[in-house]
Amino acid sequence: MEGSPIPVLTVQTAPYEDQRPTGGGGLRRPTGLFEGQRNYLPNFVQSLLSSIDLRDRQGCTMVVGSDGRYFSRAAIDVVVQMAAANGIGRLVIGQNGILSTPAVSCIIRKIKAAGGIILTASHSPGGPGGEFGVKFNVSNGGPAPDVVSDKIYQISKTLEEYTICPDLRVDLTRLGRQEFDLENKFKPFRVEIVDSVDIYLSLLRNIFDFNAIRSLLTGPSQLKIRIDAMNGVMGPYVRKILCDELGAPANSAINCIPLEDFGGHPPDPNLTYATTLLEAMRGGEYGFGAAFDADGDRYMILGQNGFFVNASDSLAIIAANFSCIPYFCQMGVRGFGRSMPTSTALDKVAKSMKVPVYETPTGWRFFSSLMDSGRCSLCGEESFGTGSDHIREKDGLWAVLVWLSILAARKQSVEEIVRDHWTKFGRHYYCRFDYEALDPRTAYFIMRDLEALITDKSFSHQQFAVGNNIYSVEKTDSFEYMDPVDGTVTKRQGLRIIFSDASRLIFRLSASSSVRGTIRIYAESYEKDPSKHDKEPQAVLSPLIAIALKISQIHERTGRKGPTVIT
């Protein structure tokens, strides 16, 4: 801390009308908008900081991290400069600006920070032509609740100025404390650069039996694994935790260098985009495979020969095997949670355990409320997000370590564990069909007309004949959720058609996209008979999909011939 105090400037600006967070306090837009539109990033950061009450903001500690995508370094500079000017007392930042979303949640809770700012657009593409995002996590470590997101948006619509210290420069490469003397500030502004992995790793050591996992990965019957970080934030975590700490060979981990464009591929852990991992697993050399998204909160599990475990099944299997995890044995299991579109496989496990299940809208903030109140211990979403109450975010690496713990305890393969689960609880055939990059008005009107159709009394108990299958409508609705903690009601969270055989069709307009619309169609069919558990999901679900296409007219109204992505 040398020289003259750093000046604090007030900059005049004009508000933007499109800075409404899409859920959980996050704003996701094309990178070019953040980079090129005058004051676009400072406006949102100021709105975010101003949403924190002044008495809570002055002198507080916040956490900052990014998934390493293009524009992250420049954006971190802006966040640091504005945090200092707005009275934040200390920032804790991952080295080189790198922190996974689970690690940010962990650190917020560990140091009792006021919140955190995560620079990520999740699984969306990076690079100059990709997407960028700014996400706000609150003091419990979880995504901002809707009331906070609404406050940020209201501030953004009338913003006339922001404050910044443009001359403040932080060295993100150097671990340790850096202090800065600011004009008209009695105390110096402090930045602490921390190892990106260490605090999170300490938490995991208290959750899992690392010795058991180490023996699985290094013993005489060593399980060969293949882990794909997809050139996102998880590279350092995979190398330090799975390789250095747990003994997996260094060549078990691929694509572990965070790249600004994620190597030119969407960092989305599914069968469409994680093709490098899928091909390696199909070769039969590896017994366990996993991939992570850009910010490390989503994951995918594959078994030998490319055996795919869908996210809904993974959640249910983790619930059924909770006794393999020391953390759950010590803390107990109070309840489970799943997003409404997630298959009902978890419900079957919960019923056998006499544990309540909370069905919520999509968005981790709904689970955070349940966990804070002690109602929920394990939760997940069909979009490859699973987590527990150890933090308040979904956690990809935690889920992978759970799976390795189950493999170590049961001494079976991934496929054997899944098939045993199906035999005991039945198989939930499940697929999601994404229609991406739709005209927003077209997407809106498709959903509006579909809601009018299925909620009309004449639709109730209607029958659909497709081939040899007859589906009788038992229930339809536009899903709404009442939070059991505070009574808050969240409406219009997806359209549901539930048939008499418990099959489901769900239509949802995704809120995670930026300027284009995405309609997701989910199909689920339950099969108890083990002799019918070897069919291809799309073949089983094709009659339901035919019904979905007929009533939605999505191909006719969009000009599409099929979905963009199938998971």
DSSP state of 230: T
Structure tokens of 240? 């330090």
Q: Is the dihedral of CA 154, 157, 160, 163 positive or negative?
A: positive
Structure tokens of 523? 């199909």
Exactly one of 51, 72, 122, 339 is catalytic; name it.
122
Cβ burial of 559 (10 Å; 0-12, 13-18, 19+) is: exposed
Structure tokens of 148? 């906070």
Q: Report which of 209, 218, 223, 352 is spatially closest to residue 286, judged by C-alpha positions.
A: 223
How far is CA 14 from each of CA 37, 44, 161, rounded to the nearest angstrom? Answer: 12, 11, 7
- Look up 122 and say whether it is catalytic: yes
Could you tell me where the beta strands, DSSP code E, fall in 247-397? 253-254, 288-292, 299-303, 307-309, 336-339, 357-360, 378-381, 385-388
Q: Do 341 and 315 touch, CB atoms closer than 8 A?
A: no
Spatial separation of the C-alpha atoms in residues 61 and 111, rounded to whole Å = 8
DSSP state of 244: I
- Name 560's Cβ contacts closer than 8 Å, sequence gap at least 6: 435, 554
Helix (H) or strand (E) holding 65: strand 61-66
Q: What are phi and psi of 353, to 5 degrees?
A: -95, -5
| Residue 550 Ramachandran class (φ > 0 left, ψ -120 to 50 alpha, else beta) | alpha
Q: Is the dihedral of CA 395, 401, 402, 407 positive or negative?
A: positive
Helix (H) or strand (E) holding 92: strand 90-98
Structure tokens of 438? 């739709």
**SS3 state at 437:** strand
How far is CA 230 from each of CA 195, 274, 430, 480, 567, rounded to the nearest angstrom? Answer: 21, 8, 25, 35, 18
Cβ neighbours of 291 (radius 10 Å): 31
Cβ neighbours of 183 (radius 10 Å): 12
- The residue whose two tokens read 């055939």 is 429
Spatial separation of the C-alpha atoms in residues 113 and 93, rounded to whole Å = 12
The catalytic residues are 122
